Structure 1
Amino acid sequence: MSDAKKREIDINHWLNDANEGNVTFEPLNSIIILKKNENALLELHNIALWEPRAVRHSQGGYGGTRVRVAKGVSVNLGSFKANSESKEELREIDRGTLTLTNKRLVFTGQKRTVNINLQKIIAIEPYNDGITLQRENKQKTEYFIGTNQHSLDITSNENKYTIPLTGIVIKAIIKGEISKY
């Protein structure tokens, strides 16, 4: 078996173990204050928080002619028409640190702090560079982008690897921690 194939098998094995809650992490000294029986698993810096925002686009214009009635006096003969529409666009809300613990996912930025209890997560969608979350009592989807700037050292079948922290890896770790409840 080639080294690349063995690496792929080992990483998939580790992802399955993570998904089932069968991986352990060395506790970190975190920037957040941990609660009783809570351990920080990952701490990722320079992560962007994106959310959908309603953005209004307006445009208008005048159509018609101007008629001079007397010296210094003119009248506009025409009309002004304006059009305004609102649509949702993804906007970067803040940039900061994303900390995953065995109980929470916490984003701490300059303008916004987001504290998500892992048990309140309804859905996670992984991407190459991050994840999106839907959670209870929150209508807007939250996007955490930039996780692939970081890597994780793993051991699988007694082999050590360094893998990028893609959305698939983070989703597996979160699902594994949720499965422990």
Structure 2
Amino acid sequence: MRQDIFQVVPLVKASFFQKLFKQLPTENSIIELNNLLASYPLEKISNENIYEIEQRYQVNLEKEFKLNLEEFYAVYLNYCLRDGILNDSDFDNLNHLRLILSLNMDSVVKLSHKIGELVYRKFFEKAISNGRLIRREEDFLEKIEKDLQLPKALVNKISNESKRNFIQNYVENVIKNQELSPDKEREINNIAESLNIDLTFSKEITTQLEKLKLYWTLEHFPLSTISTDIVIQKSEKCYFKVDSVKWYEVKSSLQKPSHYNLNIKALKAFYLKSTSQKSNTCNYKYIDSGNLYLTNKRIIFTGRNKDLNIRFEKILELSPKSDGVEIDKETIKSVFIQFTNKTDEFCLILDKLIKMNH
């Protein structure tokens, strides 16, 4: 048999008492069988060779080393399936090996299913590695299924798991890269169509995809103007409005940056997290509640008791929180604006408007 399938193993040395009573170590019987498989072509090995080993060691290999015999068969079957194809010679050799090892059909079927599951899964995952499953690959997989007589339930299980894992990993990478462009969205749909799977994800992933789709639109397309219920300057356009926000002053601030700078990837990563990192309002002084607007020049707050605004050129830094954003500005008092929703949308639009004004 091929040297790269089985390797010759040295025999175990007899113990003192085995030498004294002229006994051979029983474990050497299975080692000799291994070495026989490693040293000769399979078709040259006969039942007589196996019988000779059993007689010399006074053992019944089928009873005493059943698991080892099954392992020999499994190793050879796995070798034959290295390219996923079993030819006529492979079938002949496997049948011959089964006979000389005295394996019953139940054991062979069990081993074929066990090895076959690993092999079928490997080639199935390879077949869909580009997000497509073409007819040629389907025919190849059907041959593996037929050759190994794999149960349909097992084949369907591997197919469904592999497809689901592929689309799940693809989408998770999209989220990790924080980019859901229209091309990426089309590719996700094309993968689902080719693999014939439903695009159903956890609530967390679905929410993240929806956010990334919004983020892409805000970053790459012109902002849409909206009508307002407040008076703004003739040169102003409004791009965002949110109701029911709370305006706070920050009680203390660290050293202020010298100019405006925001890591947009860090901002998106923060808001894509599912864990809540709310602000500690003990550090803030409550000022008022009301509505918030973003124009092309400033943040406008219309409260129950007072109106406030921050011009973009005064803003130095944005520190996102899951329930709002801290805004550091040139004046001593920085502010924290607390939202019930749309915090991430506000930050992305604000960042874009600030950069448009610089």
Shift of 1:9: 4.3
Equivalent residues of 1:21, 1:180 under 8 A apart: no
C-alpha distance in 2 between matches for 1:174 and 1:147: 17
C-alpha distance in 2 between matches for 1:89 and 1:24: 34
Q: Does 1:179 align with 2:358?
A: no
C-alpha distance in 2 between matches for 1:53 and 1:8: 33
Deviation track 1:112-150 (CA, whole Å, cap 9, x = no partner) reads 3211112321111112221111112x21220111241xx
Matches within 5 A, 1:16-165: 16-18=216-218, 20=219, 22-28=221-227, 30-53=228-251, 89-136=283-330, 138-148=331-341, 165=342
Shift of 1:7: 6.5
C-alpha distance in 1 between matches for 2:307 and 2:220: 27
Equivalent residues of 2:250, 2:336 under 8 A apart: no
Residues 1:16 and 1:48: Cα distance change in structure 2 (over 3 Å): same
C-alpha distance in 2 between matches for 1:49 and 1:40: 20
Partner of 1:14: 214
C-alpha distance in 2 between matches for 1:177 and 1:142: 19
Partner of 1:58: none
Equivalent residues of 1:46, 1:97 under 8 A apart: yes
Equivalent residues of 1:124, 1:133 under 8 A apart: yes
C-alpha distance in 2 between matches for 1:21 and 1:121: 23
Unaligned runs of 5+ in 1: 55-87, 149-164
Q: Which has the higher strand share?
A: 1
Shift of 1:174: 0.7
Q: Secondary structure at the match of 1:123?
A: strand
C-alpha distance in 2 between matches for 1:51 and 1:91: 5
Unaligned runs of 5+ in 2: 1-166, 168-198, 253-281
Partner of 1:82: none
Residues 1:13 and 1:37: Cα distance change in structure 2 (over 3 Å): same
Figure out how many residues of one structure are paired with residues of the other and give that number.
Answer: 128
Deviation track 1:15-57 (CA, whole Å, cap 9, x = no partner) reads 1452x463422422x2332212311122222211111349xxx
**Given residue 22 of structure 1, which amino acid in structure 2 is its aligned partner?**
F
Shift of 1:97: 1.2
Q: Which has the higher helix share?
A: 2
Higher Rg of the two aligned structures: 2
Q: Structure with the greater relative contact order (CA < 8 A, sep ≥ 6): 1 or 2? A: 1
**Given residue 40 of structure 1, which amino acid in structure 2 is its aligned partner?**
C
Equivalent residues of 2:284, 2:336 under 8 A apart: no
Equivalent residues of 1:21, 1:179 under 8 A apart: no
C-alpha distance in 2 between matches for 1:95 and 1:47: 6
Q: Secondary structure at the match of 1:108?
A: strand
Partner of 1:79: none
Shift of 1:173: 0.8
Shift of 1:99: 1.0
Query: Percent identity among equivalent residues?
Result: 24
Residues 1:7 and 1:132: Cα distance change in structure 2 (over 3 Å): closer
C-alpha distance in 2 between matches for 1:10 and 1:23: 19
